[in-house]
Structure 1
């Protein structure tokens, strides 16, 4: 199992619907804002600003299973090739989906509902490409099928089902797209008990939120979308905060910064 850096990396998010960059409010397909019509250019902008990762979600595939945006995902991967890596999810429901995304240049796929339904899929897909398991929860219960159904599975019990997971992407549905701040306490617990690195998703509204998350021991990544698109901060500013926390921690421990 590969462990990522001990300090979180930034994952600017690109949510795709109909080939455009959008954001949904709390996952509601009827509550959508369009932020751009050239996802590859948006991705390249994030990469050029220094982001090591781009987090892509295919909302169409997540809802219908139809990977209509896969050519867009491939274009994003090509646009940032050699500069940033692409992590993508939404409708990754089979080993074949994982293979196609790996062939498209994606470095890590995110499996959510399918993984929860059949954990063995993660082990099989992990033979092909690094797999992030997306655990979307509301009050600790894992939600599936585009957040429309509860699974009965509790977040704390889910980690052990996925020994080959490269990372876990934890989304607090109640906070996603709301710009109300992340679930710091819950994420700290997840980072402690998950067994693989944890990436935080949902609720990041300010640079202070980024700094707070960066101070959670063992947190591997921070996904942010809406705050970037609404101009609350940019990628360079977020990276500067992460660097500052990293440097401060190194000086605290006497390690070279």
Structure 2
């Protein structure tokens, strides 16, 4: 039976501001996409999440994004590619430092928010993020949307590409995510989420917002950590995947 990774965005608090239940999700997921201080996260949050992940054997991923704390990294920034390379390098090194102090290390890279969506099609920015990963550690796997410029360019550069699907996000007929500003972009019904994920894992398809069946191949499922139902959804999804013989495990093998 196919085993699949279960990932979530963690470490997205900042200072006195808290977002999501990192401790609870670390007991469920197999990979943690940890904010690196640009869209969210601060040194204390980053260290705490890395330590929690290391204790539980959860793979630590660098969730790199635009330098946009006010917008939570969800606003596109038309950056010079060379500057984007340096921003990604900075974030990777910062998180990897805290991971190493915790006895682990950054095990993969996943872009966040607007950067994730931009490099589905934005060739220059996709190439910039690929360059940063190769410069830092060409052995790092990269996580992204199947069919994206990001994964295509990463594969051409010799990086290991890991395909991701979203448990709690609506899909367009073209296989991309429905923008968050549109109604119904984020799903909240745990039973419906579990049912669509089981279908995706077993049949390789997901139902789009218009009712069409979209082929989607995934090695990892993402449950967003910043929604009110995140912990309940993740726990139910983990239990049902395990019951169906698809028990989650890290795609990194760690």
Q: Does 1:78 align with 2:51?
A: yes
Partner of 1:54: 32
Rounded Cα–Cα distance in structure 1 between residues aligned with 2:48 and 2:96: 13
Deviation, structure 1 residue 116: 1.2
Q: Secondary structure at the match of 2:232?
A: coil
Q: Deviations over 1:104-131 (max 9, x none)?
A: 113323245685152322322234x624
Q: Deviations over 1:188-239 (max 9, x none)?
A: xxxxxxxxxxxxxx84542223223322545111111268623683433111
Rounded Cα–Cα distance in structure 2 between residues aligned with 1:18 and 1:69: 6
Task: Specify which structure has the bigger relative contact order, considering alpha-carbon pairs within 8 angstroms and separated by 6 or more residues.
Answer: 2
Partner of 1:162: 154
Partner of 2:78: none
Q: Does 1:104 align with 2:104?
A: no
**Which of 85, 88, 91 is the matching residue for 2:65?**
91
Rounded Cα–Cα distance in structure 1 between residues aligned with 2:135 and 2:230: 40
CA contact (8 A) 1:11 1:224 kept: yes
Rounded Cα–Cα distance in structure 2 between residues aligned with 1:185 and 1:232: 29
- Greater strand percent: which structure? 1
Rounded Cα–Cα distance in structure 2 between residues aligned with 1:115 and 1:121: 11
| RMSD (Å) for aligned C-alpha atoms | 3.9
CA contact (8 A) 2:35 2:41 kept: no
Gap runs ≥5 in structure 1:
23-34, 36-41, 141-154, 188-201, 249-257
Q: Within 5 A, what are the aligned runs for 1:202-241?
A: 203-205=186-188, 206-217=193-204, 218-225=217-224, 229-230=228-229, 233-241=232-240
Deviation, structure 1 residue 78: 0.5
Equivalent pairs, count: 182
CA contact (8 A) 2:22 2:49 kept: yes
Q: Secondary structure at the match of 1:186?
A: coil
Q: Within 5 A, what are the aligned runs for 1:163-182?
A: 163=155, 164-168=158-162, 181-182=170-171
CA contact (8 A) 1:228 1:234 kept: no
Q: Deviations over 1:20-56 (max 9, x none)?
A: 444xxxxxxxxxxxx5xxxxxx3222233x4222233
Partner of 2:80: none
